[in-house]
Amino acid sequence: MGGADSTDRSGEHRAYIGSFTSGGGRGVTIATVDPKTGALTPLSVATAEDPSYLALARDTGVLYAVSETERGGVAAFRPTAGGLAPLGAPVRVGGSGPTHVSVAGRRLFTANYTSGSVSSLALDADGRPYGPSRVLAHRGSGPDTARQEGPHAHQVLPDPTGRWVLSVDLGTDSVRVCAPDPVTGELRVHAETALRAGTGPRHLVFHPTGGTVYVLHELEPQVTVCRWNGASGHLEPVGEVPVASSGASGAVRAYPSAVVASPDGRFVWAAVRGADVLVTLSLADGPGRPRLTGTVDCGGAWPRDLAVDAAGSRLYAANEHSGDVTWFDVDPLTGQPHRAGSLAVPAATCVVLGREP
């Protein structure tokens, strides 16, 4: 079996793990990452309310955590030798139930699931978010009356150029391409891509070359492959790849959650809840032609998030229901993950890797 070698090529020696404090989580867990084995060792915990999703600003090193509550907020932290130091008080985002946060330059964006909107906030020179929040409300619904009675923005992500912001909406089966105003940060819809009705898109990831996007769906276990034109800001679906059984004939219902791409552009991995597996898609035939080449147990229950290190040699899965983070060595030839260890983190929902401060 090929596996990750013992050489530290990622430089990422910190892990930040989000959780649902309303479900027994403690806040944001900070752990050290062993440079040779990838093993996690708990360091400290930062207090936050339902910090279900995290994002790390690579230029400033500031960590952002949404508060997935009805009133909706985002908190900023400065990494320290002992953990995380708050950068001021949490800020309201202007939407409810934020499930995702991302950063581009001096702007922070959140996807607000409950209110079906996306928010844009300014960041000061130290990385603190401040108002007013610019909110773009989504419109529409889908055929699944239980889950798609209205819009449910689940992810908001800048494209590699930083010119566009893509918003994935589970409730309307669509991805909106927005253009942020360079002065106010206000989001305006530039284009909208409709995906197959009832599939419930949840998250997307860009191929490292930037021209292909992989959209993972929650309500039907599949990935939609799209062409991305960063010059024109248009997203075009070109194919679909199943990542699990749809749950027919008594099979366990699958709820895909997270998707990541290897830094070298050779593989895409997806986490699937219910089935509780990690799926490997090979891109050996090209970025636009992924093939499902393997499925492994996630090592826990209800894998809500995935992270890949900068070297592409290890994967980390946040397993919400089993309350742990498992890590895997990645076979450099096949891309198949092989479980290497786990760390108990109650109600784990997200994992982000970063460098030591």
Contacts of 328 (CB under 8 A, 6+ apart): 278, 296, 299, 314, 315, 316, 317, 337, 338, 339, 340
Q: Please state, rounded to an integer, the average pLDDT across all residues of the chain.
A: 96
CATH code where residue 349 lies = 2.130.10.10
For residues 246, 247, 253, 255, the Cα torsion angle rounded to the nearest 10 degrees is: 0
For residue 258, being part of any structural domain is answered with yes
For residue 216, being part of any structural domain is answered with no
Q: What is the pLDDT of residue 173?
A: 99
pLDDT confidence tier of residue 99, bands split at 50, 70 and 90: very high
pLDDT at 119 over 70: yes
For residue 268, being part of any structural domain is answered with yes
* Cα 321 off chain centre by: 18
How many structural domains is the chain composed of? 1
Tens digit of pLDDT for each residue in 209-239?
999 999 999 999 999 999 999 999 999 999 9
- Segment 102-120 mean pLDDT: 98
Task: State which H helix or E strand residue 352 sits in.
Answer: strand 348-354
Rounded to two decimals, what is the model's pTM?
A: 0.96
For residue 341, being part of any structural domain is answered with yes
Rounded Cα gap, residues 155 and 153, in angstroms? 6
Tens digit of pLDDT for each residue in 9-56?
568 899 999 999 999 999 999 999 999 999 999 999 999 999 999 999
For residue 129, being part of any structural domain is answered with no
Tokens representing 20 are 């649902």
For residue 272, being part of any structural domain is answered with yes
Of the candidates 227, 219, 314, 193, the residue with the CA atom closest to the CA atom of residue 262: 314
Measured in degrees and rounded to the nearest 5, phi and psi for residue 23 equal: -115, 15
Percent helix, strand, coil in the chain (nearest 5)? 0, 50, 50
Residue numbers of the domain that contains 287? 12-47+243-356
Tens digit of pLDDT for each residue in 336-355?
999 999 999 999 999 999 99
Contact 299, 326 (CB under 8 A): yes
For residue 276, being part of any structural domain is answered with yes
Strand 91-92 vs strand 107-112: parallel, antiparallel, or unpaired? unpaired
pLDDT confidence tier of residue 103, bands split at 50, 70 and 90: very high
Q: What is the DSSP letter of 213?
A: E
